[in-house]
Amino acid sequence: MGLTPIQNVKARAFRAGRQFNQNVQKYWLRFVLLGIAVYLVHEKDLAIDLQLSNIPAAALQLGEIAQAPVTASARPASLRLPPPETVPEEEESRPATPALPTNYDNQPVNVSNLANSYSNLSNSQKGLPGSEDAALRAEKRRKQLQYVKRFAKVARSEMEKYGIPASITLAQGLLESNVGESKLATRNKNHFGIKCFSRSCKKGHCSNYTDDSHKDFFRIFKSSWESYRAHSLLLKNSGRYSSLFQLSRKDYRGWAYGLTRAGYATDKQYGQKLINLIEDLGLHEYD
């Protein structure tokens, strides 16, 4: 006896269900693994999307530029880096240039064996324009007066014996010895810049210093007093200064300019500087 249509549909549905169950039982592990794989892929895509959403647009654009092939003609001008700038040295890192000694015209002299730096004369005494710091000027004056006090008695004694104004002797000593602080005064006890012109000096008679040239030789004395006596004898016994002794001992100006004309020093303003010292410190009172 044949099946009715309804029975036929049920039979087919039964067979299909049984076949599905058989397939599930047979391939269930594959279905599980496939589901896990689909899940993992889905989660990875989601993470990538989230990370990309946090990257600034400018960074993405740079990344696109880096990936794109760049040719010489297509390279944007904005990508060309400027040349490195030269950074100047800081002023504070430069070592300070030490002050150089000066000559009688207050010009710097770069020598290590300078006979006299004239550093203890004020600008006005040198006849130079410009004022100095009050404290510095006062310190220079203190040293000058101290020198005068030390040698005033000797200068007056030489005046009585040889007729040379004490004011001239003191002014020359102040100037030529830098108030007793020059190398020539401290090492040679030479307060008047007395040179040696002998070609056959004995050992210890003179030594070399830089003055008008780097080959000048100056007398060495045993004491400052011996230097003062040598100064008196130089003026008294040399014919080039004989006309000075025709002047009054009170005529310190005549003596100062006469020493310049006679060539005691190469400085053309030598006489005026002596006068400046005499009048500034009142040295004419010792005449």
Strands 206-209 and 216-219: antiparallel
Give whole-number Cα distances, 244 to 129, 237, 247, in Å: 31, 12, 6
Token code pair at residue 172: 């020359």
Coil vs helix vs strand at 102:
strand
Q: What is the pLDDT of residues 246-262, one digit of tens each?
A: 999 999 999 999 999 99
Give the pLDDT of residue 212.
53
Residues 76-122 have pLDDT tens digits of 444 455 555 544 444 334 444 444 455 444 545 445 677 677 888 89
Nearest to 167 by CA among 247, 239, 238, 105: 247
Q: What is the DSSP letter of 192?
A: S
Q: According to the CATH classification, is domain 123-193+222-286 in 3.30.1640.10? A: no
Task: Answer whether 221's CB lies under 8 Å from 188's CB.
Answer: yes
Q: For residue 259, which amino acid is it?
A: L
Task: Name the DSSP letter for residue 121.
Answer: S
* Burial group, residue 196, by CB count within 10 angstroms (0-12, 13-18, 19+): middle
Q: Is 208 helix (H, G, I), strand (E, B) or coil?
A: strand
d(CA 172, CA 159) in angstroms, rounded, equals 14
| Regions in the chain scoring below 70 on pLDDT | 1-3, 5, 7, 9, 20-21, 23-29, 38-112, 115, 199, 210-215
Q: With contact defined as beta carbons under 8 Å apart, do 277 and 173 qualify?
A: no
Of 61, 90, 236, 62, the C-alpha closest to 164 is 236
- Alpha carbons 284 and 287: distance in angstroms, whole number: 5
Amino acid at 96: A
In whole angstroms, what is the distance from residue 145 CA to residue 152 CA?
A: 10
Task: Assess contact for 166 and 255: CB atoms under 8 A.
Answer: no
